[in-house]
């Protein structure tokens, strides 16, 4: 495309998404970055302007203090660590649950597939907050889950599920698994059936064929789905806040608290910026990995 | 075509125990539509058999049932004498070359070829030597590390074939192997396939809708129609002695004179067509008067001339169309009653075809030994 000249119409077509990205992505990111270099002030908005007029001359006031503090604060580090761990666990469980789910949909007769995909995304038709509250009701000490466990004789007294790391993981997996299933299904559904037939014909038993053909060819979907789950899961703060306990303070919650409770915008912006930087790097690595898996073909 | 194989006749013995493949009474229905109806077929060990038929005749389904990719509703499949009807594809000593080739896109050429050996746990040293052998056999040396999408169509086909042959199957099944190739490459690969089949001596079963392909490559052709094998025999027998109107029309071109036997003497039967044309046919006396039948004449048996020819069957007509094919010219000639005959005139130097033009009044005729009488 280097040498191709765009016509006026093509330029217009390109400028619309480009403008959208500029206004809705680039601008907010720049604003956050600007905030991260600012200083707290007791006013509205609670920040000193970056550009000030001092002695008749405009001067720019930037400080690295917030970023340095955010990067070195052990509380932030541990919160970020637990958020990463939680996101990793969520992603792993989403893969373990979502892959067979997507595979089953892809293998279903064509007419049934649409129904199953619909069922997989059906929870999105209800507010996310409502569904989280529903889970709180389900897993509380006197909720249906504990009733069932008691009735089945699995436990003798109600197990405290709500307000635990396990509850966070449970609701996270519930909320995020559709984001894994959809890209996974899209890839598995397009996997040519004759490749599996060829594998069987060449003497591969079903599991060998899965390991050597299906799995490697569905890796792009697996990676795409994992990224879609992992990245938002790191910043998730509502679920840990609602169903977790103090052990489950995560970076998303801290970000929220710094912004809304402490009104320390520069600190919140610094955390947000560091988080973004820490997530973009592994994402780029994944993309590179994906491209190399695809061989010479465009990913 | 140059690769005619009629000089190597198939073994006369039809012993199903020693056969490469024995299909017995196989039926298959998809969604209440019968695809195969009680098909039986024996392929000799080392034979090259072509399943020939139009789309939807069941030829590919039969191939897939032999491979084990589809299960038959009824009937048995024997390979090398043992019943594999219930065996999954990965336990059958057959390999299939897919129409799409079905190469694994994430594996190199060498890994594709090696796949079947790894899957069945062949020792590493033997794998290496067999892959090397297959690469050489298919003239793929130096391409081992490429990925399938870096190959040409012809190379991809060779990899697909190598991937099968390296397994040393008892039977190699080929599903429309030439469909994705352009014409020049197709002729070359047809010859190549015949050479390889002779060299390795494997039983080949080829599915094709292309009669030229079947005729030029196969020892025997099984013509299929609507889920049945309607005729099975060497190419020459299929062409010269088609068992039915369907086979006559499907394999090669033919002029059909539908009518009834009206009488005959001295071993020459007389047939009158529906439009009142008399056709004299030698050695058709076994059909009694009144028998509904068709006299069938291949276009190359027709003689076209401006002057009267003096053949047993001769009609006056007008040239309505000429199609030049280089080696032959196909002339459409309309008779007085409206019937159009197709004649193939070989383009020898100074031959009659060169002088013909659309609109010419001509005589068209054939000897009384030229037609076949078809009742089926």
- pLDDT, tens only, B195-251: 999 988 899 999 999 998 999 999 999 999 999 999 999 999 999 999 999 999 999
CA gap B310, B363 in Å, rounded: 10
**What is the per-residue pLDDT for B130?**
96
Please determine, for the modelled complex, whether the ipTM score is greater than 0.85.
no
Reduce the DSSP state of residue B318 to 3 states and report it.
strand
Find, among B270, B298, B284, B301, the residue nearest to B365 by Cα: B301
pTM of the model: 0.81
User: Residue A151: inside a domain, yes or no?
Assistant: yes
Ranges A18-27, A132-141, B195-204, B270-279: which has the least confidence: B270-279
Pick the closest to residue A177 from A98, A69, A241, A280 (CA basis).
A98
Cα A172 from Cα A82, distance rounded (Å): 14
> What integer is the mean pLDDT of B292-321?
88
Q: What is the CATH number of the domain that holds A123?
A: 1.10.3720.10
Cα–Cα distance between A71 and A278 in angstroms, integer? 11
Say which residues have a Cβ less than 8 Å from residue B136's Cβ, sequence separation at least 6: none
Tell me the C-alpha distance between A213 and A49, whole Å.
58
Name the strand (E) or helix (H) holding B40: strand B33-43
Region of B121 (left: φ > 0; alpha: ψ -120 to 50; beta: rest) is: left
CA B12 – CA B5 distance, rounded (Å): 16
Cα pseudo-dihedral B109, B112, B113, B115, rounded to 10? 150
Cβ contact, residue pair B119, A199, below 8 Å:
yes
Q: Per the structure, how many domains does chain A have?
A: 1
Q: How far is CA A240 from CA A92, A95, A156, A253, A278, in A?
A: 18, 21, 28, 8, 21
Question: Distance, in angstroms, between B292 CA and closest chain A CA?
Answer: 47
Rounded Cα gap, residues A276 and B45, in angstroms: 67
Angle at alpha carbon of residue B175, lines to B171 and B179, rounded to 5° = 140
Report the alpha-carbon distance of residue B227 to residue B61 in Å, rounded. Answer: 9
| Residue A135 domain flag | yes
**Nearest by CB: B116 against A197, A203, A217:** A203
> A22 lies in a domain?
no
Whether residue B113 contacts residue B71, with contact meaning beta carbons closer than 8 Å, is answered with: no
DSSP labels, B82-102: EE-TT--GGGSSEEEE-TT--
Burial of B334 (0-12, 13-18, 19+ CB in 10 A): middle
Query: Which tops the pLDDT comparison, B266 or A100?
Result: A100
Asked if B71 is an interface residue toward chain A (Cβ–Cβ < 8 A), one would say no
Query: What is the chain B residue with the closest CA to A217?
Result: B106
One-letter-per-residue 3-state SS of chain A: CCCCCCCHHHHHHHHHHHHHHHHHHHHHHHHHHHHHCCCECCCCCCECCCEEEECCEEEECCCCHHHHHHHHCHHHHHHHHHHHHHHHHHHHHHHHHHHHHHHHHHHCCHHHHHHHHHHHHHHHHCCHHHHHHHHHHHHCCCCHHHHHHHHCCCCCCCCCCCCCHHHHHHHHHHHHHHHHHHHHHHHHHHCCHHHHHHHHHCCCCHHHHHHHHHHHHHHHHHHHHHHHHHHHHHHCCHHHHHHCCHHHCCHHHHHHHHHHHCCCHHHHHHHHHHHHHHHHHHHHHHHHHHHHHCCCCCC
Q: Decide if pLDDT at A298 tops 70.
A: no
Distance CA B308, CA A24 (A): 89
All residues of chain A having their beta carbon less than 8 Å from the beta carbon of residue B105 are: 217, 295, 297
Distance, CA of A276 to CA of A33 (rounded, Å): 11
Contact residues, chain A, for B116 at CB < 8 Å: 202-204
A142 touches chain B (CB under 8 A): no
- pLDDT tens digits, B138-148: 989 999 999 99
Which pLDDT tens digit goes with each residue over A103-121? Answer: 999 999 989 999 999 998 8
| Alpha-carbon gap, residue B259 to B313, rounded angstroms | 15
Q: What is the mean pLDDT of chain B?
A: 88
Cβ atoms of residues B45 and B22 within 8 Å:
no
Position B8 scores a pLDDT of 45
Between CA B67 and CA B105 the distance in angstroms is: 22
pLDDT surpassing 70 at residue A293: no
Tell me whether residue A7 is in a domain: no
Question: What was the pLDDT predicted at A3?
Answer: 53
Domain presence at residue A15: no
Closest chain A residue to the Cα of B97, Cα to Cα:
A198
pLDDT at B266 over 80: no
pLDDT of residue B14: 46
Tokens encoding A78: 């541990």
> What is the C-alpha to C-alpha distance for residues B140 and A112, in angstroms, rounded to an integer?
44
Asked, for residue A9, whether it belongs to a domain, the answer is no
Does B11 have pLDDT greater than 50? no
B265: phi > 0 → left, psi -120 to 50 → alpha, else beta; which?
beta
Contact by Cβ (8 Å): B37, B206: no
DSSP state of B11: P
Ordered by where they begin, the domains of chain B are 21-249 (3.40.50.300), 253-374 (2.40.50.140)
> Within an 8 Å CB–CB cutoff, is residue A187 touching chain B?
no
**A221-234 average pLDDT score:** 91
Indicate which of A192, A200, A202, A207 best probes the interface with B, i.e. most B CBs within 10 Å of its own CB. Answer: A202
In this predicted model, what pLDDT tens digit does every residue of A29-61 receive, in sequence order?
Answer: 999 998 999 888 888 888 888 888 877 888 888
State percent of chain B over pLDDT 90: 58
Pick B89's closest partner by Cβ from A201, A213, A296: A201
Residues from chain A that touch B90, judged by Cβ atoms under 8 A, are 200-205
Q: What share of chain B is helix, strand, coil (3-state, %, to 5)?
A: 25, 35, 40
Instruction: Provide the mean pLDDT of chain A.
Output: 88
Q: Is residue A98 part of a domain?
A: yes
Radius of gyration of chain B (CA): 24
Residue A277: domain span = 27-293
The answer to whether A8 contacts chain B (CB < 8 Å) is no
**Which single residue is written with the structure tokens 């594996």?**
B107
Which of A237-251, B62-76, B132-146 has the least mean pLDDT? Answer: A237-251
A1 in a structural domain: no
Query: B158 with B174: CB under 8 angstroms?
Result: no
Determine if the peptide bond prior to A45 is cis (ω within 30°): yes
Contacts of residue A24, defined as CB under 8 A and 6 or more positions apart, other chains included, come to none
Q: Using an 8 Å Cβ cutoff, are B148 and B159 in contact?
A: yes
Query: What's the mean pLDDT in B154-177?
Result: 94
Nearest residue to A198 (alpha-carbon basis) of B94, B201, B87: B94
Q: Tell me what pLDDT residue A295 has.
A: 46
* Cα A68 from Cα A72, distance rounded (Å): 6
pLDDT tens-digit map of A176-218: 999 999 999 999 999 999 999 999 999 999 999 999 999 999 9
A200 touching B, CB under 8 A? yes
B98, A202: Cβ pair inside 8 Å? no
Q: What is the pLDDT of residues A239-291, one digit of tens each?
A: 999 999 877 788 888 898 888 888 899 999 999 988 888 888 877 887 787 77
| Percent of chain B topping pLDDT 70 | 93
Chain A residue nearest residue B168, CA to CA: A202
Edge-to-edge strands of the sheet including B33-43? B33-43, B21-30, B74-79, B82-83
Provide, as residue numbers in chain A, all residues whose Cβ is less than 8 Å from the Cβ of B179.
none
The residue ranking higher by pLDDT, A60 or B9, is: A60
Q: How far is B218 from chain A (nearest CA, A)?
A: 23
């Amino acid at each position: 495309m280097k040498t191709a000249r765009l016509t006026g119409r093509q330029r217009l077509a390109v400028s619309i998404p480009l403008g959208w990205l500029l206004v809705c992505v680039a601008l907010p990111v720049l604003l956050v970055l600007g905030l991260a270099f600012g200083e707290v002030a007791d006013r509205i908005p609670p920040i000193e302007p970056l550009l000030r007029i001092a002695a008749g001359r405009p001067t720019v006031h930037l400080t690295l203090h917030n970023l340095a503090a955010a990067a070195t604060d052990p509380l932030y580090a541990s919160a970020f660590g637990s958020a990463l761990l939680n996101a990793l666990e969520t992603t792993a469980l989403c893969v373990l649950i979502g892959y067979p789910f997507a595979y089953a949909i892809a293998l279903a007769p064509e007419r049934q597939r649409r129904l199953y995909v619909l069922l997989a995304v059906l929870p999105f038709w209800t507010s996310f907050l409502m569904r989280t509250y529903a889970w709180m009701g389900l897993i509380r000490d006197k909720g249906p889950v504990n009733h069932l466990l008691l009735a089945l004789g699995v436990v003798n007294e109600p197990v405290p599920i709500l307000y635990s790391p396990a509850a966070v993981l449970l609701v996270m997996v519930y909320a995020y698994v559709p984001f894994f299933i959809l890209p996974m299904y899209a890839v598995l559904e397009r996997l040519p059936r004759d490749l599996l037939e060829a594998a069987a014909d060449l003497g591969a038993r079903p599991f060998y064929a899965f390991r050597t053909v299906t799995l490697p060819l569905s890796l792009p979907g697996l990676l795409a789905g994992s990224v879609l789950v992992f990245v938002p899961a790191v910043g998730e703060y509502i679920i840990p806040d609602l169903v977790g306990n103090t052990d489950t303070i995560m970076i998303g919650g801290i970000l929220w608290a710094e912004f809304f409770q402490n009104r320390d915008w520069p600190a919140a912006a610094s955390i947000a910026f560091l988080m973004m930087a820490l997530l973009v790097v592994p994402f780029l690595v994944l993309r590179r990995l994906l491209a190399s898996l695809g061989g010479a073909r465009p990913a | 075509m140059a690769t005619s194989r009629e000089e190597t006749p198939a073994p006369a013995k039809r012993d199903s125990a020693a056969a490469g493949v024995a299909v017995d009474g196989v039926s298959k229905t998809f969604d209440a539509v019968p695809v195969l109806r009680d098909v039986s077929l024996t392929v000799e060990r080392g034979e090259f058999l072509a399943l020939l038929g139009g789309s939807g005749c069941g030829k590919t389904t039969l191939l897939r049932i032999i491979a084990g990719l589809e299960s038959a509703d009824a009937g048995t499949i024997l390979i090398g004498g043992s019943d594999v009807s219930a065996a999954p594809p990965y336990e059958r000593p057959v390999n299939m070359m897919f129409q799409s080739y079905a190469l694994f896109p994430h594996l190199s050429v060498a890994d594709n070829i090696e796949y079947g050996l790894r899957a069945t746990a062949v020792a590493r040293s033997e794998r290496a030597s067999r892959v090397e052998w297959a690469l050489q056999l298919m003239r793929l040396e130096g391409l081992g590390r490429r990925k399938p999408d870096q190959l040409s169509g012809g190379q991809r086909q060779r990899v697909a074939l190598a991937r099968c042959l390296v397994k040393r199957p008892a039977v190699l099944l080929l599903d429309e192997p030439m469909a994705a190739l352009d014409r020049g490459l197709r002729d070359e690969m047809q010859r190549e396939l015949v050479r390889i089949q002779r060299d390795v001596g494997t039983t080949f079963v080829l599915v094709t809708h292309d009669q030229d392909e079947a005729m030029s490559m196969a020892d025997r052709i099984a013509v299929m129609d609507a889920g049945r094998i309607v005729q099975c025999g060497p190419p020459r027998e299929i062409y010269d002695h088609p068992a039915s109107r369907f086979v006559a029309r499907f394999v090669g071109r033919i002029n059909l004179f539908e009518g009834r036997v009206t009488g005959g003497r001295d071993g020459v039967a007389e047939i009158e067509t529906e439009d009142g044309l008399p056709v004299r046919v030698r050695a058709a006396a076994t059909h009694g008067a009144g028998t509904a039948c068709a006299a069938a004449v291949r276009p190359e048996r027709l003689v076209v001339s401006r002057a009267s020819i003096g053949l047993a069957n001769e009609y006056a007509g007008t040239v309505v169309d000429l199609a030049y094919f280089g080696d032959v010219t196909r002339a459409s000639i309309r008779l007085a009653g409206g019937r159009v005959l197709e004649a193939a005139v070989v383009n020898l130097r100074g031959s009659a075809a060169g002088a013909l033009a659309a609109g010419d009044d001509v005589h068209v005729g054939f000897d009384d030994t030229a037609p076949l009488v078809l009742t089926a």
